[in-house]
Amino acid sequence: MAKTFNENYQNKLEIDTTGNTTLDDVTKATWATLAAGIQTITPSASETADTTPYYDGEGFSSVDVTGKTISFAVAGHRLNGDEAQDYIASKYIGVGDTLHTLARWTDPSGKQVQFPATLQAIVPFGGAANAKQTFSFTLAANGKPQVVNASVTGTTTNGGTTSGSVTGTTAGGGQ
């Protein structure tokens, strides 16, 4: 089997635009894909590590990852009328629970990771007077993400194609 490189656009990041906040409500979610106007999505895992040295290590430590915070930095151009961007931009001055929603990432193989999330550092516009408006935010996972197969139900909008066999409907504009 030939080896190939995946391209970043093959990853699909979605948010629930109805504001559900627990994985128990994932089947009620209305998923909007973050794609149109989006130039970069950068995942990160901020880790907490224990590096306790023991005598049998002769003064050297081993690293045990004891905790993790997963987030996605999303940036691009503001596209008015895009369901995902409109939902996020509407939360710009929000605080507390108003910034919570559900999120789902589907990798190129179709594996899905879903999680309750917080919308952080929302930038709904900005830039030079003669340039497209910028758009960025951080999507931070709350708690341990859940890995699922690609057959979770829900409604997907703004996405064009759907990876895997997601049950539900796809509506809205393409990328």
DSSP assignment string, 3-25: --PPPGGGSEEEEETT---SGGG
Lookup result for tokens 């708690």? 143
Residue 116 confidence class, pLDDT cut points 50, 70, 90: very high
Report the Cα 161 to chain-centroid distance in Å. 17
pLDDT tens for each residue of 2-12:
899 999 999 99
Taking Cα atoms as reference points, which of 4, 17, 28 lies closest to residue 154?
28
* Per-residue model confidence (pLDDT) at position 156: 57
pLDDT, tens digit (0-9, with 9 covering 90-100), for 15-42: 999 999 999 999 999 999 999 999 999 9
Model pTM score: 0.82
Compute the distance between CA of residue 126 and CA of residue 148 in angstroms, rounded to an integer.
37
Contacts of 46-54 spanning 24+ positions with Cβ under 8 A: 46/71
Residues 45-69, mean pLDDT to the nearest whole number: 94
Output the pLDDT for position 1. Answer: 77
Integer angstrom CA distances of residue 33 from 93, 148, 158:
22, 18, 6
Alpha-helical (H) ranges within 43-149 are 83-89
Average pLDDT on 124-149 reads 95
Residue linked to tokens 């066999």: 165
β-pairing, 30-33 vs 12-16, is antiparallel
Statement: residue 84 has pLDDT above 80: yes
Helix spans in 2-108 (H): 83-89
Alpha helices, DSSP H, located in the chain: 83-89
DSSP state of 53: B
